[in-house]
Structure 1
């Protein structure tokens, strides 16, 4: 913790931040971002905090990162966006937050729409096709 009571960004390991995104530790992760951690911090696979939160189905974490300016259009090293990750995991809340923020279902090499079609995720296809 810093002298102001918030998290210190000087000693935190990046791996810990990615774990927070995977675990849906929204408040702690948001506090680190608010303290200066880049909201689009990226790991060695090209995954951002947003992609990981979306993949692990943490809608609240996705919403918090988007509210702090996370780029929903970032594409990881596999050609996937956070929206494609959320669709793959059928994370409805995360998908809704990403779509509301303007995420494009047709962006990336393996798009969210392609993912839904390939795996026969009818509910996800309907969500992607719903008027916004």
Structure 2
């Protein structure tokens, strides 16, 4: 293995400890993202999940009995986000994964409208 690759791998591990995101460190070092994930996996490391800076304060407020709406407003998040936090929902892209394992995919507005429009315009003329 070349010295450059060894140096990159060590630099990657050091930066990952600081940054916490495999993708971000790979981009910084100009390394293929999949290669970086392989290095992390072999080293027993993982990306750290980003956590909203107000989440701990929100959870503290909820634990002392503050209403969801009030706690959400105080930490600066949408009520829907606060509800997701309360219910243990994990969001990734357009998918919500609930604590019990159910998954809900959010479709694009155009997809929803086109399917509704198709059901309304199935050969009948609207008045």
Q: Give TM-score, length-normalised by structure 2.
A: 0.29
Q: Relative to total residues, which structure has the larger strand share, 1 or 2?
A: 2
Q: Relative to total residues, which structure has the larger helix share, 1 or 2?
A: 2
Larger relative contact order (CA 8 Å, sep ≥ 6): 1
Q: Is the radius of gyration larger for structure 1 or structure 2?
A: 2
